[in-house]
Structure 1
Amino acid sequence: MNIKCVCGSGLGSSLLLEMNVKSVLDKLKIQYDSVEHTNISSFSKNGVDYVVVGADVAPALDFPKERMIVLLNILSKDELETKIKEIIKK
């Protein structure tokens, strides 16, 4: 499973998302191939299974909505864990 964490312009918030995603996946014992971060202008959907993104950036991203983990609070590991469970553990 390949996951991309995407932020609007810089790479700071997407790096934070990447670290949190890895932490939550490890906690839930979900296997993954890669978790990487990028900004929206560098994003490529090729080979990406899921995207983790803030609600402010999600509408501008060209990616299937059913495979997007959209966060209202990108700092909340609880929200991230809940949404990962909903989408990935199906």
Structure 2
Amino acid sequence: MKFVAVCGFGVGSSLILAMSLQKVADKLGLDVEVENTDLTSAHSTDCDVIFTSPQLQPELSQSVSVPVLAVTRYMDLAEVESQVRQFLKDKQ
């Protein structure tokens, strides 16, 4: 399974979000690859789910075929875990 964290330029907040996603995946015992990227590259990235800001979610949701989940506080592991669990629940 592959998670992608997306921000406008793919270097700042997406890296923080990717680190939080990896911590949550490790905690939940998930075998996932986590990467971060910029908004433009996200449109053609092969993945299972995209995590991004609420501001970028609408644009991404319209242009990709995978779920796009919004995270407001990238360092809040409880919020990140909630979104990961929502993805896993919806995937079943």
Q: Is the shorter-chain TM-score for this pair beyond 0.5, marking a shared fold? A: yes
RMSD (CA atoms): 1.8
Residue 9 of structure 1 deviates from its aligned partner by: 2.7
State the partner residue of 1:59. 58
> 2 CA distance for matches of 1:48 and 1:3?
6
The one-letter amino acid of 2:9's match is S
Residues 15-54 of structure 1 correspond to what in structure 2 (within 5 A)?
15-32=15-32, 34-54=33-53
Identity of aligned pairs, percent? 28
TM-score, structure 1 as length reference: 0.83
> 2 CA distance for matches of 1:48 and 1:6?
12
> 2 CA distance for matches of 1:20 and 1:40?
19
TM-score, structure 2 as length reference: 0.82
The one-letter amino acid of 1:43's match is A
> 1 CA distance for matches of 2:35 and 2:14?
8
Residue 73 of structure 1 deviates from its aligned partner by: 2.2
- Count of aligned pairs: 88
The one-letter amino acid of 1:4's match is V
Task: Could you tell me which runs of 5 or more consecutive residues in structure 1 were left unpaired when the two chains were aligned.
Answer: none
| C-alpha spacing 1:44/1:8, structure 2 compared with 1 (3 Å) | same
Task: Could you tell me which runs of 5 or more consecutive residues in structure 2 were left unpaired when the two chains were aligned.
Answer: none
Report if the CA contact (8 A) 2:2-2:48 is conserved.
yes
Question: Secondary structure of the residue that 2:51 maps to in structure 1?
Answer: strand
Structure number with the higher helix fraction is 2
State the partner residue of 1:80. 80
